Structure 1
């Protein structure tokens, strides 16, 4: 009887652990509507996109073991029954992205929630460029927040700026996106931290958003951790 009891207790504990999910609360503090989107790298697929009006929020549950990225599309319309966005569009023609990523330049919130481990990893990344300010705030006690709160678009050099039909800057390219060179993208002969130091463009991004990734080897000042089990607020235009 004891063996059966402890096996049942173990099984119940395992099931409880496996169904635990993290809750992401997505908030829109921008002065316009946005369309946040999720792309899952591992774990259970989640809602891949929705619209948020100014001041609105929505919650998304992710599985106990999950990794992926969150971003927001802006300048969206549904002309002719096809949903598209001027910035961060995922090419699905729908509000949901159906697993697609966002077209850069786009600011990313990136997460790895290992489930079996005791530590979550998260960061804000401008490696693919910038389109909207965002912040990540964990609920766990003592867990650090991270952000890129500056409006990089307002200071983006003209050769990196992406504009909409009205001429407004709605995105700022990273060096890698702008040149697609091995040196700026830290690949090939430049695929190590020793051979790929920050460029002038990544220093520009880093100066405005010191907690966010500005290029591939920006780990020491841009990756943050929190004890597994907490929830996260992701705020656009914090």
Structure 2
């Protein structure tokens, strides 16, 4: 049997990647309920110890998972939250909730970037400590595939002018509250959670990558 040509081998590897489903297991370790939200996905109340699986399609990009606090929904799934709310238990696509909130962001393997790209972002502020970890492939890609955590209780350290109920604003998304950038007031967040985004374009220290097909655990209050 003759060896496969390079184009055919590349195509086969791409098909294997596209058919491997990625699972995000969302866990609530907080002492209080968290109403998890995912886009793409849906929403779910998680009491302490509860788990929820999110199964995005291969190639999903610009996706988010976040937690909402202090929510109250009616029988139709409509309601409000103290942080992260979108007006519904299941947020509409593209409705990424009100600030402030801690975000887990990801893009699954793309044709021009055959790795998963992941981060924790505090650009929209903070409401809940959060971490993510690869369930396999830890240490891969030169160590860029690893556990990333922002576990500090930032709400307790939040400057008074940024405080909200259950949350802490970031001046990058709350105009008039300070300056945004590497040397701006937003560096408050970088000092507490150095692996998380605290301002836009902070890619070098805040973006992480894992091989395609990796499954992940996202934890509130790690």
Do both share a fold (TM > 0.5)?
Answer: yes
User: How many pairs align?
Assistant: 206
The alignment's TM-score, normalised by the length of structure 2, stands at 0.83
Q: Which residue of 1 aligns with 2:21?
A: 21
State which structure, 1 or 2, has the greater radius of gyration over its C-alpha atoms: 1
Number of the residue aligned with 1:209: 193
Cα distance change of structure 1 residues 226 and 14 upon mapping to structure 2, 3 Å threshold: closer
SS in 2 for 1:22: coil
Instruction: Specify which of 225, 232, 236 is matched with residue 209 of structure 2.
Output: 225
User: Could you say which structure has the higher strand fraction?
Assistant: 1
1:158 is matched with 160
Q: Tell me whether 1:75 sits opposite 2:77 in the alignment.
A: no
Structure 1 spans left out of the alignment, 5+ residues: 3-8, 40-45, 164-169, 186-195
> Alpha carbon RMSD of aligned pairs, Å?
2.4
The answer to whether the Cα contact below 8 Å between 1:20 and 1:63 also exists between their aligned partners in 2 is: no
| Cα displacement (A) at 1:180 | 5.5
TM-score computed with the length of structure 1 as normaliser: 0.78
Structure showing the higher helix proportion among its residues: 1
Deviation at 1:97, TM superposition (A): 0.6
Distance 1:131 1:27 in 2: 16
Whether 1:85 and 2:70 are equivalent positions in the alignment is no
Q: Following the alignment from structure 2 to structure 1, what is the Cα–Cα distance between the partners of residues 41 and 90?
A: 7
Q: Is the 8 A contact 2:17 2:213 kept in 1?
A: no
Aligned partner of residue 177 in structure 1, secondary structure? coil
